[in-house]
Structure 1
Amino acid sequence: MRIRGIAGWGGAVLFPVALAWSQVAGSGSEPYYSPSQAIAAMLSMSLLIGVLRRRPLLALVMMLLGCVFVVAFAGPGYQSGRSPFLPFLAVDLAVAFIVATRASRVSTVAVVLSLVVQVLAIAGFSSGQDLLTNVEIAVLAIATAFMAGRLLRERREHAAALRSRAVADAVTAERLRIARELHDMVAHTIGIVALQAGAAKRVIDTQPARAREALGEVETASRDTLSGLRRMLGALRLAESEAAPLHDLPGLADLDRLAEATTAAGVRVDVRRRGEPRPLPPEVDLSAFRIIQEAVTNVVRHADTRSCEVSIDYQDEDLTIDVADGGRGHGAAPGTGYGLVGMRERVALLHGDFTAGPRPEGGFRVTARLPLPTGVT
């Protein structure tokens, strides 16, 4: 950074020397002011790029003074068509840069200052038809520079807004993902713990062995959930923007353990598989397990039944999940819970289909179809 500063201000120091040399060295080659002198003046103004980035108005003032020097050096007798006002194009480029990168107040000062100096310089060193033509060119050049700068500024601001929105959407999506994981993990365990604790309380005096077994199930479920929470909190502590690794989270391979724990809590879970079970993409595997877990949890908490049936159908392009029970239904009033909402969100993220509602014959059914990526066999 210090080297850049030295180079930038060094260019500002060399600028007047280079500008004067470009005019004096070329003054004797032709009897009139030549385009080569104007081009040399523009090139010498490139030495002010470092100052333009740090002190834009100071660099602009130095450019304007340099252009006035060029016009004064050419004098009022330059030949028509050999305009000394060409170096003002460098000023117009600087104005476009200032408008594109600086605040409106600084941009306004730059535009007005540049326009006034150019018009005064043209009025002092040209006359007749050349005066009107040169003023018109100057005004059009400033207007073009202003519009180009505004366009670049708006595009930059729009790109920044899109990036900010993308970051906000990513944060929201990650927050919802964490909320779904916490809900699905904790809700199931709380349901199992509540059932087992209630059973232990009822039989602790008459059947102490059964009570100890129920409390053992409570301990196991609690430890499993605590382990899952620790893994999730560990992932959240990582100083990375990526989501928690999916390979550490449960999948359909853990379904039998889920069924055993729920059956031990008093609600039998019959698991039926159709098709050929095979490895699934991590996001599909996790979502399928969580959907079944939440559906079974709803059966435990709301259905008032002793059993439910879980069907998994492995097809070529889809994985279909169906959880049905014969209880009294657990379609709670809208807005009273997040279970169905979380399941629907999981399915939507995978571009699948989801339905949930009472069965005509009684009970409740949850069905989800999860598309499988091409190549999963």
Structure 2
Amino acid sequence: MHVTPPSPPLKRVPPGAWTVLAWWAGLVFTFLIRFRLPGESGPAKLAGSFFFEWDGLTWLAVSTALAHVAAVLLPRRPMPALGVLLAAAVLACVPLGVAEIPLAQFLAVDAALYFIAAGHARRTGIVALLGALTVLAGYLTVRVLAGWPAGTSAELAVAMTAVIAWLVGHSVRQAREHAETLAATATARAVADERLRLSRELHDTVAHSIGVIALQAGAARRVIHTQPDRAGQALGDIETVGRETLSGLRRMLGAMRHGDRSRPLDAAPGLSDLDRLVATTTDAGVHVEVRRLGELRPLPPEIDVSAYRIIQEAITNVVRHAGTSRCQVSIDYRDDELTVEVLDGGRGPRRPPEGGYGLVGMQERVHLLRGSFSAAPRAGGGFRVAARLPLTAETR
């Protein structure tokens, strides 16, 4: 059973919680810099006229409550949440006596901009960024029009942090979308590869059997009145081949129905079943001579199945197109590769037949295994099919 690994601890923290943490971090920093800390001759920032009084603390309490409300709204309603956070940042400046919205009061807004840009549409993120920058510019404009001091350079630095927060969130969203696109492409490719694999298995399973059945049926029809025993034998062979083919199709369709990709490959025949294929083909009227070279040894399943299917399809083409009664199969077990060759001396086509899937399927099998494949008429007549299947270090 597939088990999804848990997310990293920091990713399990919701965006609203990060926003609240950013607000409280800014609030604690705001108080700290208004005290004389060890090693300092005085506080880094002078407190406002009523910063430590009840009315100043009330403004900070109200803005903090608004920040918590915004944190609750952020996952479901990001734009209203950002508006509430911006209002909290402005209200928090009332008791501070500052000429700009400090970065400490804007940290929660930066956190919200990051999550909005990372988790929502690009248009939503851009609107959120423009809203935050508009509030910063509006705060300075009001102070300038009122004749109060305005910290323009400091506010530009705060605006820069807002842009950076948006850019980081935007890049995270793009990376996630790219990963999702790659996953969708990989899934579509896997589905296409699986369909191609199953279509090859179905073709290889059916094509040879139908060819043999057609040949046996024709022979039985010709001798049914003159040699009834031979006709009966041919019909028995047809029944055997039909049952075996039907059984193979049932196994394959059952594996497809249950979504098990390994069963068709495991149930597929290999080179150990070559003698039965040769016997069936011989009964159909085409004598197959098999030559095995090198040291016989177990092969990786994908090599074993592909080699068998290549030989099966090549023999099927001999039965259907060559017009000969003999063919030769050579299997060479080498140290680093397996080579397969099927030769016939018939009157097959002078060039590979077009419109069929047999040669294409063989070529695709070999290509997937990083091997080489050739199929062409022989100089002295007949046809030659050859495949080289490399054995990697993992499959030797």
**TM-score when normalising by structure 1:** 0.85
* Distance across 2 between alignment mates of 1:139 and 1:9: 21
Could you say what secondary structure the match of 2:263 adopts? coil
The 5-angstrom pairing of residues 334-373 of structure 1 reads: 335-373=354-392
Cross-structure match for 2:78: 56
Could you say what secondary structure the match of 1:316 adopts? coil
Asked if 1 retains the 8 angstrom alpha-carbon contact of 2:352 and 2:375, the reply is no
Cross-structure match for 1:97: 115
* Distance across 2 between alignment mates of 1:8 and 1:347: 51
Size of the aligned set, in residue pairs, is: 361
Cross-structure match for 2:193: 173
Cross-structure match for 2:300: 281
Which of these residues, 227, 238, 258, is aligned with residue 258 of structure 2?
A: 238
Report how far residue 114 of structure 1 moved: 1.3
Output the amino acid matched with 1:136: L
Could you say what secondary structure the match of 2:168 adopts? helix
* Distance across 2 between alignment mates of 1:19 and 1:114: 20
The 5-angstrom pairing of residues 250-269 of structure 1 reads: 250-269=269-288
* Distance across 1 between alignment mates of 2:278 and 2:186: 40
Output the amino acid matched with 1:100: A
Which of these residues, 126, 131, 136, is aligned with residue 108 of structure 1?
A: 126
Cross-structure match for 1:160: 180
Asked if 1 retains the 8 angstrom alpha-carbon contact of 2:101 and 2:155, the reply is no
Check 1:24–1:309 CA distance in 2 against 1; reply closer, same or farther (3 A cut). Answer: closer
* 1:240-288 CA-partner distances (Å, limit 9, x unpaired): 5x44352221100000000000000001111110011110000000000
1:139 matched to 2:164? The reply is no
* 1:124-168 CA-partner distances (Å, limit 9, x unpaired): 457788532134224323332332222222211111111111111
Check 1:60–1:191 CA distance in 2 against 1; reply closer, same or farther (3 A cut). Answer: same
Report how far residue 102 of structure 1 moved: 0.8
Asked if 2 retains the 8 angstrom alpha-carbon contact of 1:42 and 1:87, the reply is no
Report how far residue 58 of structure 1 moved: 2.7
Where do 5+ consecutive residues of structure 2 fail to align? 1-12, 36-42, 52-56
Could you say what secondary structure the match of 2:104 adopts? coil
Report how far residue 94 of structure 1 moved: 1.4
Report how far residue 215 of structure 1 moved: 0.5
- What value does the CA root-mean-square deviation take over the aligned residues? 3.5
* 1:58-92 CA-partner distances (Å, limit 9, x unpaired): 321221121111112213xx4x8x96343213212
Output the amino acid matched with 1:368: A
Asked if 1 retains the 8 angstrom alpha-carbon contact of 2:338 and 2:390, the reply is yes
Asked if 1 retains the 8 angstrom alpha-carbon contact of 2:322 and 2:346, the reply is yes
The 5-angstrom pairing of residues 14-25 of structure 1 reads: none
* 1:317-361 CA-partner distances (Å, limit 9, x unpaired): 110000000001246665320100000000011001111100111
* Distance across 1 between alignment mates of 2:196 and 2:104: 60
Report how far residue 19 of structure 1 moved: 10
Which 4+ residue blocks in structure 1 deviate beyond 6 angstroms? 7-12, 17-28, 40-44, 126-129
Check 1:299–1:55 CA distance in 2 against 1; reply closer, same or farther (3 A cut). Answer: same
Could you say what secondary structure the match of 1:356 adopts? strand
The 5-angstrom pairing of residues 193-232 of structure 1 reads: 193-232=213-252
Check 1:270–1:9 CA distance in 2 against 1; reply closer, same or farther (3 A cut). Answer: closer
Report how far residue 233 of structure 1 moved: 0.5
Which of these residues, 321, 327, 332, is aligned with residue 313 of structure 1?
A: 332
Check 1:124–1:294 CA distance in 2 against 1; reply closer, same or farther (3 A cut). Answer: same
Check 1:123–1:307 CA distance in 2 against 1; reply closer, same or farther (3 A cut). Answer: same
Deviates more, 1:251-260 or 1:66-75: 66-75
**TM-score when normalising by structure 2:** 0.81
Report how far residue 169 of structure 1 moved: 0.7
Asked if 2 retains the 8 angstrom alpha-carbon contact of 1:322 and 1:366, the reply is yes
Report how far residue 44 of structure 1 moved: 9.7
Check 1:335–1:52 CA distance in 2 against 1; reply closer, same or farther (3 A cut). Answer: farther
Report how far residue 180 of structure 1 moved: 0.6
Check 1:274–1:21 CA distance in 2 against 1; reply closer, same or farther (3 A cut). Answer: closer
Check 1:333–1:11 CA distance in 2 against 1; reply closer, same or farther (3 A cut). Answer: closer
Which of these residues, 47, 56, 63, is aligned with residue 32 of structure 1?
A: 47
Output the amino acid matched with 1:149: G
* Distance across 1 between alignment mates of 2:343 and 2:186: 39
Cross-structure match for 2:96: 74
Report how far residue 48 of structure 1 moved: 5.2
Deviates more, 1:191-200 or 1:138-147: 138-147
* 1:151-190 CA-partner distances (Å, limit 9, x unpaired): 2222111111111111111111111101111111110011
Could you say what secondary structure the match of 2:75 adopts? helix
Where do 5+ consecutive residues of structure 1 fail to align? 1-6
1:151 matched to 2:166? The reply is no
Check 1:158–1:334 CA distance in 2 against 1; reply closer, same or farther (3 A cut). Answer: farther
Check 1:22–1:62 CA distance in 2 against 1; reply closer, same or farther (3 A cut). Answer: farther
* Distance across 2 between alignment mates of 1:20 and 1:279: 69
Output the amino acid matched with 1:91: V
* Distance across 1 between alignment mates of 2:239 and 2:216: 10
Check 1:201–1:314 CA distance in 2 against 1; reply closer, same or farther (3 A cut). Answer: same
Could you say what secondary structure the match of 1:244 adopts? helix
* Distance across 2 between alignment mates of 1:8 and 1:306: 75
